[in-house]
Amino acid sequence: MIIFNNVDALIVRQIDQFYIPIVVIGKVDGNFRNVFSVNTNNYQDSFDLTQYLIDRGHRDIAYLHSSLHYDVSIDRLEGFIGCMRSNGLAVNNERIIDSDYTVDAAHLAAKMLIAGTMPTALNCGRKRDINP
């Protein structure tokens, strides 16, 4: 069974008792016999993506993230903030936009961005989008 990390830990514990092997994509907290995880360093990935933008001259960078109920979203937001601060750049909370993975949310985020002064770059939290 393959599941994503946004599944309730109680459910994972219950499944683990039945000796059903589970692979969690993302973080999994706790000690389990049959639960394994595959994860990436989301903090570092977001830090690197932000650094990529800064290295190309961007200073006014907006950040679009999904629900902070997910560890991946928290880690990526912290990576963005960490990189901005390590480069001596201000983190403007008005440039940090809450969203989710729907088209409607993307449209709303775009409207929020164009309502004011446009940033020079937008970090959407997906490193693969910038790789040549």
Residue 127 has pLDDT above 70, yes or no: no
What is the predicted pLDDT for the residue at 129?
Answer: 43
68 and 33 part of one domain: no
The helix-helix angle for 71-86 and 42-55 (nearest 10°) equals 40
pLDDT band at 1 (very low <50, low <70, confident <90, very high): low
Together in a domain, 47 and 110: yes
Residue 83 corresponds to which tokens in the numbers above? 């990189």
Mean pLDDT in the chain?
Answer: 82
Tell whether 80 and 103 lie within a shared domain.
yes
- Whole-model pTM: value is 0.76
Tell me which residue range forms the domain holding 76: 42-129
CATH number at residue 115: 3.40.50.2300
The domain tally of the chain equals 2
